Structure 1
Amino acid sequence: MADFQYYVASSLDGFIATKEDDLGWLLQFEEAEGVTESYEDFMAGIGCIVMGGQTYRWLMEHEPGKWPYPGIPCWIFTHHEYAAPPGADVTFVRGEVQEFAPDLVADAGDKNVWLVGGGNLVAQFAKAGLLDEMIVTLIPVALGSGKRLLPVESPTAPLELSSTRTLGGAAVELRYRFPARAGSAGPVLPDHVGNPGS
């Protein structure tokens, strides 16, 4: 079954964007050694993408006319009305994340679900017990303030570090499994949601 993965870059002080959604601090590292390979390796295992409305709006504003995920089903959790880019497989939804978990798993097929962000949306998946893995690349920059990496409401249990690697000699990619998921084939959906095929 599909894993729900949060693949993201973070500043050293735990932010994924400035308050103004500026990513200049991150983009200066996009050509660093190993960054492209890391992304391509990760995307090879992705069958479905999930993001919030603010992340989707940022993409539309900064990548006009260019959809970065062709051929991959993408679900947008939002309370706003947006149009899908031509040819993109995009579904707009609103509601509790666990309501749509079986559909996301079905769309992913034999691959995984990428929770693109933002942090507030991913925190909802974590609260629902639907976050299997965090793959966090720590960028050697401190922002001081901004959009938090994972704004959970209470402390999590310690995560299990499964691997590390250095990118470009300065950034560090850390892979963490959530303990309830460690060693499992995928998320156990809440009883009131039901697992696909059950």
Structure 2
Amino acid sequence: MSIFQYYVASTVDGFIASPDDDLGWLLQFDRVEGVNESIESFMAGVGCIAMGGETYRWLMEHEPGKWPYPGTPCWVFTHHEYSAPAGSDITFVRGDVREFAPDLLKDAGDKNVWLVGGGDLVAQFANAGLLHEMIVTIIPVVLGAGKRLLPLNGPTAPLELVSSKILGGAAAELHYRLPR
């Protein structure tokens, strides 16, 4: 059965981007041993992607004309008008995540839905009871301010730690299951 997963990197102090959406703090760890293998392993289980408009905008600004997820259906939740790069399978939507959840799961087939980037969109899935797992790679950097990992209004019930691993002696990947 397909599930909704939040796979993301975070600073030690719980931020996924700087206040101005800079990811330089993260990109310096691209070559850390185990990072690329972890991403590839995760992506093998992804059948559909859901992302917010800000994440989509960031991708288009930093990778103009290039779509990093060819062959994988992607749903972009946005209030803005965007066009899709050639060769992409992108659906732009507006509305409550609950309305589109069945379609996302259908597109995922026997794989999972990756909730990409922005914590705001993922918080909508969590608040709707649709976030099943979080895989968070803790990067040994402190930003002090920025975009929060998961901006919920209150605490969750305790999460179940499914697995953990150290990547290159620098980062820690923590895989959590949310209570149902």
Q: How does the TM-score come out when normalised to structure 2? A: 0.99
SS at match of 1:91: strand
**How is 1:67-146 mapped onto 2 (pairs within 5 angstroms)?**
67-146=67-146
- Write the distance in 2 (CA, Å) between the matches of 1:32 and 1:78: 33
1:122 is matched by which residue type in structure 2?
Answer: V
SS at match of 2:57: helix
2:129 is matched by which residue type in structure 1?
Answer: G
CA contact under 8 A between 1:136 and 1:173: conserved in structure 2?
A: yes
- Write the distance in 2 (CA, Å) between the matches of 1:21 and 1:119: 12
- Determine the structure 2 residue equivalent to 1:66: 66
Q: How does the TM-score come out when normalised to structure 1? A: 0.90
Q: Deviations over 1:66-122 (max 9, x none)?
A: 100000000000000000001100000000000000000000000000000200000
- Write the distance in 2 (CA, Å) between the matches of 1:179 and 1:22: 32
2:146 is matched by which residue type in structure 1?
Answer: G
* Number of residue-to-residue matches in the alignment: 180
- Give runs of ≥4 in structure 1 deviating > 4 Å: none
Unaligned runs of 5+ in 2: none
Unaligned runs of 5+ in 1: 181-198
SS at match of 1:92: strand
SS at match of 2:136: strand
Q: What fraction of aligned residue pairs are identical, expressed as a percent?
A: 76
Larger radius of gyration: 1
**How is 1:1-198 mapped onto 2 (pairs within 5 angstroms)?**
1-180=1-180
SS at match of 1:61: helix
- Write the distance in 2 (CA, Å) between the matches of 1:53 and 1:32: 29
